[in-house]
Chain A
């Protein structure tokens, strides 16, 4: 939900108590109360597209119907666009509010004139919870590492993959996908730093997860080298350095930073 919580347990609890939940990271799933919505229930793919667009644009003020149609169905003429929009919106409302009496106001997608908006305070979206968990983690970092650790771990648990992977070629999802991926990378790295002193193996695992997102993320190699060295595994530290050097050379034509080199030179 859009409510900002100051407590990680409250934030985690919101997920199970929400009436309507959207999972957008690594796939797309909707839960109405406790029921998972099967993709077939949406009917047409255009219905899902419209819902996903409303979720992506939920923090913007109401969008005009024509703007929405132009963004998601670029090639349709106005008449077909209007018809598709009407059918898709009806499809969404039917699934999200199956018991709503006809001619009564909708609860989740609210219309104001010709503008439409998803009521973000009435729904739970994984990407919002992911971001709030990171904020909580950052707020507690170095003050209360246990809370920071719990918050970052919850964020990572929510980040099951890129934002709306089935819409990767649609540019209205690109900015959000990039923003969330960079947040995820940062979270893996921050948590790996927290774990470095106390749990080297977890630090290594987190760095490897970050490298699965971006295999040229030098900081993930640096932390991994430090973790191997702290656990006494010098051969693996050297091997990781060599991989880092090779990847940076292939991708950017660069050498590792002097600070990364120094780790190995000091062995």
Chain B
């Protein structure tokens, strides 16, 4: 039986924004990202969020593989397929999530915020502060792009919180 440490993957994601003037003198924005896997210190730089998701997927698959080394190859394959199921929801939900965000970013952030706060409440860490959403201005196209990237980070946080809540629920059942 692998220990809790072997069953945990933590990621740190850094986004760097650079606003600049292109050759025609028009303002533009460039995003660069870096994702690090805490437990192995591996890192990947990216300009497309899907690269970060692929990096996470690969690390999680590695974790499942190393936890199932003792089982038969067929069984390992089955577990791995189930393990990768976590990403099915991402691929299904992500486009809808992005479209909803573009349509109504404020409502979407409120929704995510609600999920995060619910998660935080359940793990008894009421440490979050609500964003002052009423102060928001209508978003521009570049804001939408930024928002989409922010949403991805929030999705990761919600997923991590859900994991924590599941772990705590399992514990309390025991």
A residues contacting B by CB (< 8 A) are 60, 64, 67, 74-75, 168-171, 174-175, 178, 182, 216, 218-219, 251-254, 257-259
Contact = CB atoms under 8 A, between A and B. Distances in A.
Contacts of B125: 67
B5 A74 contact: yes
Given A252-B45, A252-B47, A254-B47, A171 B20 contact: no
B23 interface: yes
B30 A257 contact: yes
Interface residues of B, number: 25
Interface in B7-23: 8, 10, 12, 14, 18, 20-23
Given A252-B47, A254-B47, A257-B30, A60 B127 contact: yes
Contact of B12 (A74, A178, A218, A259): A178
B38 A182 contact: no
Nearest to B125: A67
Contacts of B38: 168-171, 174
Given A75-B3, A174-B12, A258-B22, 20 more contacts: A60-B127, A67-B124, A67-B125, A74-B4, A74-B8, A75-B5, A169-B41, A170-B38, A174-B36, A174-B38, A178-B12, A182-B14, A216-B32, A218-B18, A251-B45, A252-B32, A252-B45, A252-B47, A254-B30, A257-B18
A168 B3 contact: no
Contacts of A218: 18
Interface of B: 3-5, 8, 10, 12, 14, 18, 20-23, 30, 32, 36, 38-41, 45-47, 124-125, 127
A169 B12 CA distance: 12
B41 A259 contact: no
A32 to B, nearest CB: 31
Contacts of A64: 124
Contacts of A182: 14
A146 to B, nearest CB: 29
9 contacts: A74-B3, A74-B4, A75-B4, A169-B41, A178-B12, A253-B47, A257-B18, A257-B20, A258-B21
B21 A169 contact: no
A258 B20 contact: yes
Contacts of A259: 20-21
Contacts of B39: 169, 171
Top 3 nearest A-B pairs by Cβ distance?
A171-B10, A74-B4, A75-B3
Contacts of A253: 47
A204 B97 CA distance: 45
Contacts of B46: 252
Contacts of A257: 18, 20, 30
B8 A171 contact: yes
A220 to B, nearest CB: 12
Nearest to A64: B124
A69 B5 CA distance: 14
A67 B38 CA distance: 20
A170 B22 CA distance: 42
B14 A178 contact: yes
B14 to A, nearest CB: 7
Nearest to A254: B47
Contacts of A174: 10, 12, 36, 38
Contacts of B30: 254, 257
Nearest to A251: B45
Given A67-B124, A252-B32, A257-B18, A216 B10 contact: no
A93 B18 CA distance: 47
A253 B39 CA distance: 26
B160 to A, nearest CB: 10
A67 B4 CA distance: 15
